[in-house]
């Protein structure tokens, strides 16, 4: 059973009495219980097992016909389940995670978006900044020639706006530079206080996991990431924002195989994102706001990518959820540290 043990598919062997006689590691995740607690128990006695799945097992025992159930709400997530007979005394239950498939789709989309942003980084930055330098130089000469009149004021305004655009471009095209250990909750608190002082109308709820380890990266850049997400929530018409931190196990978003990552959710009750924009949401110049630059969420994704992470979007019944996935810091032996804060 060594190969089956390593499968991402949950595999469960049942006897004729519907008792679990063998499970692999993925089945423990699917059923949200250790094999010590699972083995010997009847399937229908387990918590939160769909009634339709129990009926399918009973029917297959009766007529020996395989059955497939779609989108079963199992304790460990959403799964497609297959029930088939091995012999007259044994059944095989296979559960394929829909959440896992969705993660792979998100990862593919992220790779495409990151590739496009890297292409812009390499080829477009200097193409924009070069003419900006000429415009600023001409405005500087005009301001010097015109003295203190109204036209000189306009020339200086051109210089200020060119400087602002140049700074925005530098922020987007330059990767995160610093790499220090920092407390993600303190970083979030500073971002929340800044946005609260600017807007004054958003209500914030914090739901933090105190066991999260300290992260490593550019704290200022990560803070800017969350400032952008919080401002985006306010601009969408939200009145309430929930910020949640969790450890996420079994993630395929940042590394191959089952990984453990830090996940920070920013949920809002705003207007949401138009469906047609969702696949392009993190690309530069994509916005649904008339006054938007289309760089805020692109910068968010770029900062996450510079830290080995990514940001995903999920529509909610009312509002939006942006989830920031960041890798756990590595211990000295190169393994990720799933434990608490260092001493």
Task: Please report, for the domain that includes residue 273, its CATH number.
Answer: 3.30.565.10
**Tokens at 320, concatenated:** 């939006």
User: Does 75 share its domain with 186?
Assistant: no
Average pLDDT over residues 167-194: 80
Tell me, what's the pLDDT at 38? Answer: 94
* pLDDT band, residue 114 (cuts 50/70/90): low
pLDDT surpassing 70 at residue 41: yes
**More confident site: 133 or 43:** 43
60 inside domain: yes
Average pLDDT over residues 252-278: 78
CATH code at position 36: 3.30.450.20
What is the secondary structure of 75-123 as a DSSP string? TTEEEEEEEEEEETTEEEEEEEEHHHHHHHHHHHHHHHHHHHHHHHHHH
Please answer whether residues 290 and 301 qualify as being in contact, where contact means their C-beta atoms are separated by less than 8 angstroms. no
User: Does 140 share its domain with 210?
Assistant: no
Tell me, what's the pLDDT at 172? Answer: 60
Residue range(s) defining the domain that contains residue 131: 124-174
Of 48-57, 186-195, 290-299, the range with the lowest mean pLDDT is: 290-299
Report the percentage of the chain scoring pLDDT > 90. 40
Tell me, what's the pLDDT at 300? Answer: 87
CA Rg value for the chain:
26
Tell me, what's the pLDDT at 189? Answer: 95
The last residue of one of the domains, among 136, 156, 174, is 174
Secondary structure of 27-52 in the HEC alphabet? HHHHHCCCHHHHCCCEHHHCCCCCHH
User: Does 322 share its domain with 197?
Assistant: yes
Place of tokens 């009149």: 149
Tell me, what's the pLDDT at 309? Answer: 87
| Domain count within the chain | 3
d(CA 310, CA 314): 13
Indicate the Cα dihedral angle 53, 57, 62, 68, nearest 10°. 70
116 inside domain: no
113 inside domain: no
pLDDT surpassing 60 at residue 180: yes
């Amino acid at each position: 059973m060594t190969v089956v043990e390593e499968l991402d598919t949950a595999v469960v062997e049942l006897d004729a009495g519907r008792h679990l006689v063998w499970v692999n590691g993925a089945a423990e995740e699917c059923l949200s219980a250790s094999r010590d607690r699972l083995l010997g128990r009847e399937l229908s006695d387990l918590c939160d097992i769909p009634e339709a799945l129990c009926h399918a097992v009973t029917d297959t025992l009766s007529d020996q016909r395989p059955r497939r159930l779609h989108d079963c709400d199992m304790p460990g997530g959403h799964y497609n389940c297959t029930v088939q007979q091995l012999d007259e005394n044994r059944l095989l239950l296979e559960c394929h995670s829909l959440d896992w498939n969705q993660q792979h789709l998100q990862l593919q989309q992220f790779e495409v978006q990151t590739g496009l942003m890297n292409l812009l980084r390499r080829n477009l930055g200097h193409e924009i900044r070069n003419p900006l330098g000429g415009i600023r130089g001409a405005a500087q000469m005009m301001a010097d020639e015109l003295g203190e009149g109204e036209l000189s004021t306009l020339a200086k305004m051109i210089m200020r706006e060119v400087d602002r655009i140049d700074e925005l471009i530098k922020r987007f095209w330059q990767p995160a530079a610093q790499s220090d250990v920092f407390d993600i909750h303190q970083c979030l608190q500073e971002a929340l206080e800044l946005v609260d002082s600017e807007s004054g109308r958003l209500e914030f709820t914090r739901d933090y996991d105190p066991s999260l380890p300290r992260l490593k990266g550019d704290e200022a850049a990560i803070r800017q990431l969350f400032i952008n997400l919080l401002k985006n929530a306010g601009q969408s018409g939200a009145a309430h924002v929930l910020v949640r931190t969790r450890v996420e196990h079994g993630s395929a978003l940042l590394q191959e195989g089952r990984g453990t990552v830090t996940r920070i959710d920013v949920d809002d009750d705003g207007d949401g994102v138009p469906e047609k924009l969702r696949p392009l949401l993190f690309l530069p110049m994509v916005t649904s706001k008339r006054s938007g630059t289309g760089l805020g969420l692109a910068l968010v994704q770029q900062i996450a990518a510079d830290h080995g992470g990514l940001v995903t979007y999920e529509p909610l019944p009312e509002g939006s959820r942006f989830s920031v996935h960041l890798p756990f810091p590595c211990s000295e032996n190169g393994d990720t540290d799933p434990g608490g804060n260092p001493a």
